[in-house]
Structure 1
Amino acid sequence: MSLIYSITSTITRNIEDMLRNSFLFTIIFKIFEFIENEWVNSYFKSLYPGENFLSIFKKSRIMKEEIFSPLIVLVTFTLFLLLATDPVSRDLQIVILIAFISFFIGSIIFPRFILNNQSNDNSEKNKNNQIPLFNTKDIHSIGFCLTLIGIIFLFISIASVGGLPILKSSLRYSLKPMFTMPVFLVIPGIGLIASHYLNQFKRGKINRSQVRFRFLILTAIGMITVLTLEYRTPIIAILLMMIIIAYCGEILSVWEVIIGAFIGVCAIMGIGYLRSLNELAISSNTSMFSTLEHRANFTMHVLNLLNQISGNFGILHGKMIASSMPGSDLGPRMLVGKLIAWRTEVTVTPTLLGQMIVDFGKLGVALEMCLLGFILGTGYKIIKVTKDSFYIAIYSLILTYTILGVETGILDIPVLSYFFVISFIYLAAILKDKGIRIY
């Protein structure tokens, strides 16, 4: 791992240094620096509500410290179930209960048995067992390059369809995945950059107003990038990830988190409503909330059908998750369409449990939800132990996609790659805690 990290950080640092010294990027950063100074010293900033605004929310320990623990996934799933007004079968209710119990065990119980050798003791023995920490300048360089790749492929995607999908919705269906997938690297990219700014804030190099402004700029850059292609889920991913990083880094107040979540829900309903109108899927008399309700009902109906055909041990035995790999004839969501309706030209979201049920049935739900809970529980425990900004960023990334996956599932190859890489980092931390040397 150290060799891969060393090579990656060296290459990305050289690229960042070269670009930062170029005329174009010098002008861009000068402009951002000027705007930041104007904002920090602005009179209007003083009109913004302070940290103690709506302080009633701070009285709750859960609201103040534990909003984004792994259990937020179960809360989100419960709200999704409540949103779906159509009843589900008794057998699916059992599956959902198994999923909840397994996730709870994996995220809350199992992490209690790991990473228990961390202390403030600086003896040589304890140093050998400490969770590995990363140079935030290296992390910033990696995030900078990922963001740059995303923006470059944004222009390539626009050029490939000859226009802006946000201005002409039909162009979105002409976008090529080989060009659009790299665009989404902007999401982990801005998350890693944000972790560097958060670390600078913790070390007193920048003040609270500066770090908040930089988070706002990063969020705007990411959202504008993916909004140009008229994608909905990545917009919510960026907003949610940055909120989680800011909350865990203690630069965002509880009331701001609540308002941010409300804005996110409104964005989901609004974008979905406008897209449905443009595609003539609904009439203008249909409310935004009803479109969200219909979507939840449809998705739960899909899960119910998948459960009926999968039994206790599944029917594809890993083929659905494998279909996420590039080069597969059908993607996982197209495979769902084939299974329930024999239609391969549509993509169907199967919820977080859909792939687990189809591949390995109820057994798969129990094992995979426990594993997913353990990954998130490990990440949450690491940030509680280290307070490290890098671990906050990567935990926020996978928690974000798990929350979004409640409806869509975790089926995209970039997202699966994030989970794989981050799980490997967590494994390295666990082994280091046990005193096992890593090369």
Structure 2
Amino acid sequence: MSIIYSKLTAIINRISDEFHKSFLFTIIFSILEFIENQWVNSYFKKLYPDEDFLKFLNKNQIVKHHLFNPLIVLLLFAAFLLLSLNSPSSSLVITLLLGFMAFFIGSSIFPKYFFNAANQNILKFEKRDIYSIGFCLILVSIVFFFVSVASVGGIPLLKPSIRYLLKPILTMPVFLIIPGICLVASSYLKDYQDNIITRSQARFRFAFLLILACGFLLLLGYRTPLLAAFLIIIVIGFYGNIISAWEVVIGAAIGVCAIVGIGYFRSLGEMTITSSTSPLYSLQSRADFTLHVLNLLDFISGNFGIAHGQLLASSIPGSELGPRMMVGKLIAWRSEVTITPTLIGQMVIDFGKVGVFVEMCILGFILGVGFKIMQKTKDYFYIGLYSLILTYSILGIETGILDIQVLFYFTAAILIYLTNIIKSES
């Protein structure tokens, strides 16, 4: 495995170096360096609130150490369910309680038995490799953005109706910009930790990466990836001491406003609501519909499920139906529609209540171990990795963890964490 990794990173480093040497990127990075220097030394930067702004948030120990604890997934899941206009069935309540209990056990109890020694033998990654991988992912996503826009003959944000003409095979690579900025931001965090760049420079680069990702994702008209970009930058910045607690609160508010606002204006453009309708209604109705879907899935799946792994396997490219299309076929007998089944939807369909308990425990354990490694090591890579899987766990509250690229992120995290567990126990 290490040989494959070495060969792959050698190729990616070569590609990254060649692009950095090219005339176009030399100009781009020169311009960015000039803007960065102007901002760092700008008088207007002094007008921006410092770290002591709303200092009660920075000094709060719960906020300081546990703001992005894995249990935030349960809190947000509960909040999403409360947004619904209707209530879950009694059977679904039992399923949810089992899932919540299992996640708590996996994230808060099991990790206590690992990484307790004073000196841990943690797997280390070269910053150059991480930066090059992230840089190449961003390049690939930008290329596919222009291919996607050209394929539908317009920008989906300006013409909402053409968003449904986008082909998943072209748009999925665009979303690689999310792990791309995650890895690049992590490498900038390493530079900050090693005193190669200042905190102001790191903050500028984080802001630029966020603007870059949000710009492309916003033009495609997608809300969920947009929120993913916000979350990843905020989590990395917070645990890397680049972003203050008050900025996290404001950033979270901006993210919520963005997802509500894009949904509202898109609904207006599609004439599914009127201008007199509450902006929150699109979010409430979406939560209500998703809960209704979950009620149906829980009813037909019982204690042991009906698909027995087929739904998760349908995420593999080349499958006749995608996972969300399979959900549509199960509850509506229509395979041409995609329906989001929430975080536990796949677990319910595949293995019922038993599956929810087991899989939520595994998910909690992955996040719990990642959180513990991150807190103990303060390593730039593990901060980035935790931010990535936490972000998609939070977004999966509605959509489920079903996309092949997201499953790959979790698989990579599992392999890395298991390797560290084996190394720490040896």
Asked if Structure 1 and Structure 2 have the same fold, meaning a TM-score greater than 0.5 normalized by the shorter chain, the answer is yes
- Greater displacement, 160-169 / 423-432: 160-169
Question: Which residue in the other structure is 2:95 paired with?
Answer: 95
Give the counterpart letter for 1:215 in structure 2: F
Gaps of 5+ in 2: none
Is the aligned partner of 1:244 residue 2:252? no
Which residue identity is paired with 1:150? S
What is the match of residue 209 of structure 1?
A: 200
| 1:274, distance to aligned residue in structure 2 (A) | 1.1
Query: Within 5 A, what are the aligned runs for 1:261-410?
Result: 261-410=252-401
TM-score (norm 1): 0.95
Q: Distance in 1 between matches of 2:409 and 2:58?
A: 33
- How big is the shift at 1:406? 0.6
Partner of 1:12: 12
For 1:95 and 1:12, the matched residues in 2 are separated by: 45
Task: Kindly indicate whether residue 163 of structure 2 is the aligned counterpart of residue 172 of structure 1.
Answer: yes
**Aligned positions of 1:84-233 closer than 5 A:** 84-119=84-119, 130-233=121-224
User: Which residue of the other structure, out of 422, 427, 433, is the alignment partner of 2:418?
Assistant: 427
Q: Measure, in 2, the Cα distance between the counterparts of 1:345 and 1:393.
A: 36
2:35 aligned with 1:35, yes or no?
yes
| Structure-2 separation of matches of 1:289 and 1:306 | 26
**Offset at residue 359 of structure 1 (A):** 0.5
* The 10-residue stretch of structure 1 (216-225 or 80-89) with the greater mean CA deviation from structure 2: 80-89
Correspondence for 1:124 = none
Q: What's the counterpart of residue 47 of structure 2?
A: 47
The number of residue pairs the alignment matches comes to 426
What letter matches 2:181 in structure 1? Answer: I
SS of the equivalent of 1:352 reads: coil
Which residue is equivalent to 1:25?
A: 25
The code of the aligned residue for 2:188 comes to Y
Letter in structure 2 aligned against 1:399: L
Q: CA RMSD in A?
A: 1.1
**Partner of 1:267: helix, strand, or coil?**
helix
The CA distance in 2 between the partners of 1:288 and 1:163, in whole Å, is 26
Deviation, structure 1 residue 170: 2.2
For the residues of structure 1 that align with 2:373 and 2:103, how far apart are their CA atoms? Answer: 18
CA distance in 2, matches of 1:2, 1:69: 31
CA distance in 2, matches of 1:59, 1:50: 14
Give the match's secondary structure for 2:339: coil
Displacement of 1:342 after TM fit? 1.1
> What is the distance in 1 between the residues matched to 2:274 and 2:298?
32
The whole-number CA distance in structure 1 between the counterparts of 2:368 and 2:251 is 24
> C-alpha separation between the residues in 2 aligned to 1:316 and 1:237?
29
Q: Output the CA distance in 1 between the equivalents of 2:173 and 2:59.
A: 43
Deviations 1:133-192 (A, max 9, x none): 111111101111111111111111122222222222222222121111111111101110
In 2, are the aligned partners of 1:165 and 1:172 still within 8 Å (CA)?
yes
Counterpart CA distance in 2 for 1:293 and 1:14 is 48
1:301-354 deviation line (CA, Å, top 9, x unaligned): 110111011100001111111111111121111111111111222111111011
1:71-102: CA deviations, max 9, x gaps?
Answer: 11011111112212311111111111101110
Q: Aligned partner of 2:106: which letter?
A: G
SS of alignment partner, residue 344 of structure 2: helix
In structure 2, do the counterparts of structure 1 residues 85 and 172 end up closer, same or farther at CA, with 3 Å as the change threshold?
closer
On the 8 A contact 1:118/1:433 being kept in 2, the answer is no
- Give the corresponding residue for 1:126: none
Deviation at 1:117, TM superposition (A): 3.2
- The answer to whether the Cα contact below 8 Å between 1:118 and 1:385 also exists between their aligned partners in 2 is no
Deviations 1:404-427 (A, max 9, x none): 111111111111111111111111
C-alpha distance in structure 1 between counterparts of 2:8 and 2:164, whole Å? 34
* Aligned partner letter, 1:394: L
Q: 1:353, 1:409 within 8 Å by CA — same for their partners in 2?
A: yes
1:288 is paired with a residue whose SS is: coil
Query: What is the identity percentage for the equivalent residue pairs of Structure 1 and Structure 2?
Result: 59
Cα distance, 1:118 vs structure 2: 4.5
User: 2:45 and 2:359 mapped to 1: Cα distance?
Assistant: 47
Structure 1, unpaired ranges of 5+: 120-128
SS in 2 for 1:33: helix
Moved more, 51-60 or 31-40: 51-60
Question: Structure 2: which amino acid aligns with 1:52?
Answer: D
CA distance in 2, matches of 1:206, 1:289: 42
Moved more, 369-378 or 5-14: 5-14
Q: Distance in 2 between matches of 1:39 and 1:59?
A: 28
In 1, Cα distance between equivalents of 2:257 and 2:214: 15
Q: Secondary structure at the match of 2:280?
A: helix
Letter in 2 for 1:31: I
Amino acid at match of 1:387: K
**Matched position secondary structure for 2:337:** coil
Greater mean deviation of Cα atoms: 163-172 or 244-253: 163-172
How far is 1:58 from its partner?
Answer: 2.6
The question of whether the paired residues in 2 share the 8 Å contact of 1:111 and 1:378 is answered with: yes
